[in-house]
Amino acid sequence: MIKPVYLLILSLIGALYFGNETDPAQDPFSSITLCHNPSDDMAQFVDAPGFLSFHPSPNAINFDGAGEMISFPTPDGDNANAYFIPAENPSDQWLFVYQEWWGLNDHIKKEADKFYADLGKSVNVLALDMYDGKVTSNPQEAGQFMRNVKEERLQNIVKGALMHAGENAEIANVGWCFGGSWSLKSALLTGSQNIGSVMYYGMPVRDVETLKTLNSDVLGLFATEEYISKEIIEDFASKMQQADKKLTYKIFPAVHGFSNPSNPRFDPEASKEAYEMAITYLKNKFQG
């Protein structure tokens, strides 16, 4: 009888100390607001079976850009880099462009050039280097880059870009994959200076209280996939509605990465439609 009695005593002690762990009144961490749910990080998928197959090595492209690489200070005492194309005439309108998990490669710089031209060369375009110079075409290495980069450093890069743009800047954001997530996170970090966010198949932030701080609506251009799934996207839509924020989105019948011309799985038709939605959205933001 000693062992059962001992177990009973342990159970009573456990109930006493842990029985109310979900009660906010008893939870010492209940007053802490997370910037996003732990499951909102795309790095969670790196080891998932099949996730790497969504990211075949990108094809090399020929690129001679209109912009140049610049550096700017970040709040953590370091510096960050970016590919910058200034507006033809002085402007406080800015488009922040966010890379895929490969790093700031020539494809992203070429996309930055395209947005710049189609926005009438009247908007400053800044493609941020979120990996501090690291670039790869190897899926395994890209996964490790995404897994190992520190959230605090990423936030400091965005904050440094915000300081570089200036306190009068009006900022819209666009990004793909890893950068799709950061387009939304950037919209949150840039606060009242944010005027819009375009997410290409990125993992959304789904904390309602955080989403309430958004200063704009969001355009989501998603793929048909099992990771950033229809269920996740619909949950994001629900959370945006709860936060009283507008989300316009489409799930394209195409694979993750469908809008990258250097991706062997590039889908020209879906990409064209998605880009038309993106550029129309951004033109409205900058003309509004």
Q: What is the pLDDT of residue 7?
A: 38
- Helices 268-287 & 106-118, crossing angle to 10 degrees? 50
Q: What is the pLDDT of residue 216?
A: 98
Q: What is the pLDDT of residue 50?
A: 67
Q: What is the pLDDT of residue 162?
A: 98
Q: What is the pLDDT of residue 56?
A: 80
- What is the amino acid identity at position 144? Q
Q: Which residues of the chain have pLDDT under 70?
A: 1-43, 46-54, 288
Q: What is the pLDDT of residue 59?
A: 87
CA distances from 67 to 108, 164, 286 (A): 12, 16, 20
Q: What is the pLDDT of residue 40?
A: 64
Strand-pair partners of 171: 94, 194
